[in-house]
Structure 1
Amino acid sequence: MAKISRILRPYGMYPYQGEKITKKVIKVFTGSRYIAVKQSREKHLPQRFGFVYHEAKEKNLTSIAPLYLTEKGSPYIEGRQHFYYVVPWFKEKEGSSLTSSIHPFFGELAHVHRKTSVTKPIEIQQLNEWAQNQKEKIRRNFYQFENWIDLFEAQHFMSPTALLICHSYRMVRQMSQLLEYWYDEWRAHMEEEKEMKYCLCHGNLSPSHFVLTSNGVMFLNWEQAFYGHPSRDLSMFFSTICQEHDTPLSLIKEGLPVYFKDAGYTKSDMALLAIHLLNVKDFLLDVQQYVKAPNYLTEVEWIQVFQRYQFYFEHVLDIQEFIKNDLMITDDEDLT
């Protein structure tokens, strides 16, 4: 507790009791309240905390977890290799779970995104050129993936991991084809809208970085915050929860239209979310790693890696289909 005592001294606090939650988070009782002491190696943390908490104050964003200030008014302590900061310990609402938190999560995330949203005009010709380059890259990447499949199938004995990767072929082909479709959709709607949305993004959304309290959702750990398109936050969240077989897809489909409406999503925004969801870059990098260094992980670990990708592919294909067939169609469009 000596290190925690040194960290808390500038705050005028003393640790009476501490509990290690993770390698970077300690739950501490100060005699009057519970707090969380967090360690961070993010070198841009001062700048990020600067704009996050400026936005929180200016826009009255009460779901951004507040920071305690030192007696000198600083929101963090700078060490030789790390930053340290202190936030209140938020007690979860009794009986809360991921499934019970999904709807409040979507509602509060939409509120943060909309309150901090700005739009900027874009150059359509540059956008078209960029989108076309992305489509060509998709084709090159899939061609490389086919070469890896051929390599596996040429082996006299195919490992369980290689077999699992080969079983992913159909979904990877489908996602690659759909990516081209969604780039065309995005480009067409951007030509009509002629502007891009930007907002405050959390940057690392996962179930461990928000908590449903008796007062509502609280977003934690803004160390990787940035200004960008809100679909990047949503796709990050989906990338963490869609890797399990029991992902609550029905609740996601109930909450997503509410989020779109409250966040002011346009059709180009929806198309860009689909693009982010269908991105197979990380999968291909892991396949490449397996081809080059199969002993980097054990066979069991590799199987776990690619099984999670299978779950993810199945779920996001379902979500993008829902966006395409249920949310992109408006009442004034023809039935044909």
Structure 2
Amino acid sequence: MAKENRLKKYGPILKHYALEPNFIESFGSVQKVYSSKGVFSLKKIKANHGADFIRYIQQLYQMGYNRIVPIYPTVDGRYAVLHNQKLYYLMPWLANEIKEDQFERHQQMFRELARLHVLSTKEVEVSKEEREEHYENTLLEWEKQSEFLDGFIETCESREYLSPYELMFTQYYNDIAQALTFSTKKLKDWYEKTKEEEKVRTAVIHGKISTEHFLYDERGYGYFLNFEEAKRSSPMHDLLPFLSRSLKTFPKRADDAVDWIYTYFKHYPFREDEMLLFQSYFAHPGPVIRAAEKYHNGKSKKNERKHVEHIQRQFWLLKNTEYVAMRIDEIERQKKQAQEAAEKANAEQEGAQNG
């Protein structure tokens, strides 16, 4: 869009902020607005997202969390402008100069995410019936996935000549089945530990954390933006999607991901039951199972080579996730053993003193 067209299109919106734009630069759904009052960011979102995300931002400010890119009110006090069925809101344009390496950028983001969750944490009531229904529905779905895996491997092994995809699946089957068994065990352990409880810990979650949604000001302080998917939910729903995206790479030992997770846990420790459920969801091999189901059902228009490439990428994700999941399991087991040893030593010491 030409410069004049952008000024014409966004000028009426910016009048609500008493801004006269000199120049507007487009970055997709974000417009960089240059004016005599400074440089601003004008963001466009769907109208039905507006009320909720502004409400959550206001709640977080009231709770004392201020590492959010501020949203400027209009002259008449509104936090968004409805224009042509879209909502627009205005923020400062952050320089976002990266002064540290990518690893430290992630570390700071996870520290801030934990602080966001700490300040907004709240226990909410969940009935035993709701908990049981969630458990049984999840378990039933995973049992069906296990039956599919067993059926598909039998089909493959019964053939005299396997397709390239089927041959690859037979090589992947044991790893997929083991991951599903691990997830299911953690789910069962979680339910056994919590089936009598009627509360669950929640927080205001960002909804789509990413280093692209964590920007730095000129002083080097990090701020979250893009709270359009914010809601009250389990904090793990901020962690899981980010980790999944980060681990979609070639096979690697993702020790950096383990460090990010424990940076977060240092500031927002999960309870034992939360850790069990987190481990269950994190290790679950859903993407690779869905890839195999799609191939088996013949609903995809991909050719054989594309199918092979797709399941290979999903298997790499599975193996990267497996490494992180096993490291978490090992760390948690060591922590539990250390705690039990300390409790035993304290008990023996008390016994000796009483004796």
Q: 1:83: Cα distance to partner?
A: 1.8
Q: Distance in 2 between matches of 1:88 and 1:175?
A: 45
SS in 1 for 2:67: coil
CA contact (8 A) 1:103 1:251 kept: no
Q: CA 1:39–1:145 in structure 2 vs 1: closer, same or farther (change >3 Å)? A: farther
- Taking the aligned partners of 1:274 and 1:56, their CA distance within structure 2 comes to 28
User: Which among 139, 142, 145 is matched to residue 143 of structure 2?
Assistant: 139
The residue number in structure 1 matching 2:3 is none
Match for 1:253 among 254, 258, 276? 258
1:27 is displaced (CA, Å) by: 2.4
Q: TM-score, normalised by structure 2?
A: 0.81
Structure 2 contact 96–216 (Cα < 8 Å) conserved: yes
Q: Which amino acid aligns with 1:169?
A: Y
Residue of structure 1 aligned with 2:76, choices 59, 69, 72: 72
**Higher Cα radius of gyration:** 2
d(CA) in 1 for partners of 2:21, 2:288 = 44
Q: Corresponding residue for 1:33?
A: 38
Equivalent residue for 1:3?
A: 9
Q: What amino acid sits opposite 1:241 in the alignment?
A: S
SS of equivalent residue, structure 1 residue 73? coil
* Residue 110 (structure 1) aligned to one of 111, 114, 117: 114
What is the DSSP-based 3-state SS (H/G/I as helix, E as strand, rest coil) of the residue aligned with 2:85? coil
Correspondence list, 1:214-233, <5 A: 214-233=219-238
Residue 207 (structure 1) aligns with: 211
Alignment partner of 1:14 is 2:28: no
1:162-216 Cα shifts (integer Å, max 9, x gaps): 6555544233212210111111232244358763111000111223222244442
Q: Give the match for residue 89 of structure 2.
A: 85
TM-score, normalization by structure 1:
0.85
- CA deviation map 1:33-87 (0-9, x unaligned): 322222222623212321x122222112111221122212211122333222222
State how far apart, in whole Å, the 2-side matches of 1:77 and 1:247 are: 46
1:207 and 1:224 map into 2 onto residues whose CA distance is 16
1:262 aligns with 2:267: yes
Residue 45 of structure 1: which of 50, 54, 77 is its match? 50
Worse-matched range after superposition: 199-208 or 189-198:
189-198
Q: 1:107 to 1:247 in 2, by over 3 A?
A: farther
Q: Distance in 1 between matches of 2:306 and 2:91?
A: 35
Post-superposition offset of 1:157: 6.3
Q: In the alignment, what sits opposite 2:67?
A: 63
Cα shift at 1:233: 0.6
Question: Partners of 1:164 and 1:25 in 2: how far apart?
Answer: 43
> d(CA) in 2 for partners of 1:324 and 1:97?
28
Per-residue deviation, residues 61-115 of structure 1 (Å, max 9, x unmatched): 1112211222122111223332222222222233445322121111111100010
- Give the Cα–Cα distance (whole angstroms) in 2 for the partners of residues 132 and 172 of structure 1: 21
Distance 1:155 1:294 in 2: 24
In 2, the alpha carbon distance for the partners of 1:103 and 1:121 equals 32
Percent same amino acid at aligned positions?
Answer: 19
| Deviation for aligned residue 1:302 | 4.9
2:242 counterpart of 1:237: yes
Q: Which runs of 5+ in 1 are unaligned?
A: none
Question: How many angstroms apart in 2 are the aligned matches of 1:64 and 1:304?
Answer: 40
Task: Tell me the amino acid that sits aligned with residue 315 of structure 1.
Answer: N
Distance 2:44 2:304 in 1: 33
AA at the equivalent of 2:275: M
Paired position in structure 1 for 2:321: 316
Return closer, same or farther for 1:19/1:314 CA change in 2, 3 Å cut-off: farther
Amino acid at match of 2:176: V
More helix by share: 2
Aligned partner (choices 171, 174, 197) of residue 175 of structure 2: 171
Inter-partner Cα distance in structure 1 for 2:75 and 2:160: 66
> Which residue in 2 is equivalent to 1:333?
340
Task: Please give the alpha-carbon distance, in whole angstroms, between the structure 2 residues aligned to 1:300 and 1:28.
Answer: 46
Q: Do the aligned partners of 1:205 and 1:237 also contact (CA within 8 Å) in 2? A: yes
Q: 1:191 to 1:258 in 2, by over 3 A?
A: farther
Counterparts of 2:80 and 2:172, CA distance in 1: 45
Conserved 8 A contact 1:45-1:223 = yes
CA distance in 2, matches of 1:5, 1:324: 55
